[in-house]
């Protein structure tokens, strides 16, 4: 019998920063966060304003056990550079769902909100889980941006083919939570956690 990986704490000491952008697939990220926490990872969630239209911050706070980051200016600390502080401890940044807008910002180095600023501040592993309409996914600009991210060492998880929010079947569906968690875990355990290297 194969042991259930959930609850095995194989990701203990690892810190994962989950950046949620605005797409209907944000609901799948709830399961991703829950599963990572059950496996022992410390999970901090950051959300764009658009993401909060789909899932409330309270949901992610309950699942992660941590305050959700929503702004570069929301810290209670005096002169706290939240993007530097948080990313310094991060072993892996997961951007899910990664919309066409977010992917474009990452590719061009634009840092005009919390999520894009965290992305450009991190020196950790980066995993991107795209989610969008098939026509958007296949647009030459999006494909060029995706190629740039891959060249820079980002790992893309998906997208897959399936039922889309526009009520059609096509490519662009965000990978299921289990696939994302498996990919993230494999990336993490390939090297020691930052906490263990200190």
Write down the catalytic residue from 9, 108, 154, 166.
166
The sign of the dihedral angle between the CA atoms of 50, 114, 135, 24 is negative
End-to-end CA distance of the chain: 37
Quickly list H helices, 57-110: 57-64, 82-88, 100-108
CA distances (Å), 4 to each of 94, 157, 182, in order? 23, 22, 13
Please list the residues that pair with 171 across neighbouring strands: 161
Run of H or E residues at 43:
strand 42-47
For the chain, the helix, strand and coil percentages under 3-state DSSP, each to the nearest 5: 40, 20, 40
Respond yes or no: is residue 30 known to be catalytic. Answer: no
Of 35, 47, 46, 49, whose CA–CA distance to 5 is shortest? 35
Phi, psi of 4 (to 5 degrees): -75, 120
The catalytic site residues sit at 166
């Amino acid at each position: 019998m194969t042991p259930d990986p959930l609850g095995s704490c194989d990701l203990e000491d690892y810190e994962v920063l989950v950046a949620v952008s605005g797409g209907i697939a944000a609901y799948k990220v709830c399961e991703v966060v829950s599963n990572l926490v059950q496996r022992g990872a410390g999970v901090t969630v950051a959300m764009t304003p658009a993401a909060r239209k789909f899932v409330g911050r309270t949901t992610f706070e309950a699942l992660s056990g941590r305050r959700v980051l929503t702004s570069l200016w929301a810290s209670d600390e005096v002169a706290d550079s939240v993007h530097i502080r948080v990313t310094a401890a991060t072993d892996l940044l997961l951007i899910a769902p990664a919309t066409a807008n977010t992917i474009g910002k990452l590719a061009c180095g634009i840092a005009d909100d919390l999520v894009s600023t965290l992305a450009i501040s991190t020196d950790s592993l980066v995993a991107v889980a795209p989610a969008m309409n098939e026509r958007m996914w296949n647009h030459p600009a999006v494909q060029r941006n995706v190629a740039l991210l891959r060249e820079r060492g980002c790992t893309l998880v998906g997208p897959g083919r399936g039922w889309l929010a526009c009520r059609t079947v096509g490519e662009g569906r965000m990978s299921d939570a289990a696939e994302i968690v498996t990919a993230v875990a494999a990336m993490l355990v390939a090297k020691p956690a930052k906490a263990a290297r200190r």
